[in-house]
Structure 1
């Protein structure tokens, strides 16, 4: 697969996706990060967790005041099923405000682009993780969405590489655990499951939502809240998740965790 044959833009006029070799510059997505995005998995025949992606995308657009008309990943699913049947693909769906202008938008129409690439599942185990000392996250009315301004995660990824870690955990402005570099974080202690509240500035991940729902279906208590880093350092097991799957943490700082998988949890992403 190449970038030239796996990038498409949605045509409002024809209500269909057309191949894209370039998009006009300047645009508000590039100039201001004025939009949101979804990372999705096409699982050979369908987009995994499609309804959850659609809901989060629309909620993000509404938070930014962008028209939600045509914001429906079913059209993406139909396109991929027709052009790339039987393939497992990672789908980047960008949704941003049309027009240029300056800080004040001149219009609120929706522009959509997608980019497809081969899917690679999350590693089953991440050997070494640590806490970021250079990036803090802040709660806002839009912090739960994946906006096109992803600088905190870029800077965190650079720190992770410098320190030769496999994963990095981010804290919020109050020093509470927020999330991982590109994933949500969960841990298990004394038979209970914990994950940070959205008020700690983390992304409202699709996989986070699915995992929480599955635990509740199994009548397993999962607690959302503001947790000091010592809470996870005293846990027995910890894992991170995004739409590509679950990765268990082997070691966080000097704390060693169990990496025994939760089989039913892993199967959600198979």
Structure 2
């Protein structure tokens, strides 16, 4: 086990996204996952049915006691549903540890997970602290005010996203139509293009959480950012292809695709 990752995000009672997906992804890639839970959700594959926020003082306490004892090699943030939560988390972020920030705004089923008035706080406080942000196209549109409906528009939006202050941006193109899925990794040194054939499936719940945590695990283990992104994308793709088919809605991935239970049989 190598690479300590502190994940600051919401819980998904259905186990497919949020903290549950984060822990599974980091563990499956050989890292050690630690958590600070920002909210509880009553959630399944069909949607989010309720949200219970965690008091900000307790969010900070979770972070502080973990960092003070166990330490961390990378940080990952997910659901930070309002401005006070974002402020509290940013106040507790330690310097010098790479942060992967997934700007979670809307659940797969459409339920809002970030209050509209918190977007500016996210841009002002969290994004400039991040080594990498991982917006999908709707999130990138909110962050930039630009319309992004083609790969060319993805390329054109990258300067505006980088201007927000993160060290790098992984702009995920899964919302575009077509048989090919393209993600763009933008840094001050240029843009790296990743391409795969699209997998036609409804079992994609938690892909954003899983990808961001898998990248954080790579950074915690000393991988350079492009290699961490490439490995995380391979892992998510394998987990989608091996999805167990659970639930009536957007089903979960098989986060354990890298594991071999037969080794301890």
TM-score, scaled relative to structure 2 = 0.28
Higher percent of residues as strand: 1
Bigger RCO of structures 1 and 2 (CA < 8 A, at least 6 apart) = 2
**TM-score normalised according to structure 1 size:** 0.27
Q: Which has the larger radius of gyration?
A: 1
Structure with the larger helix share: 2
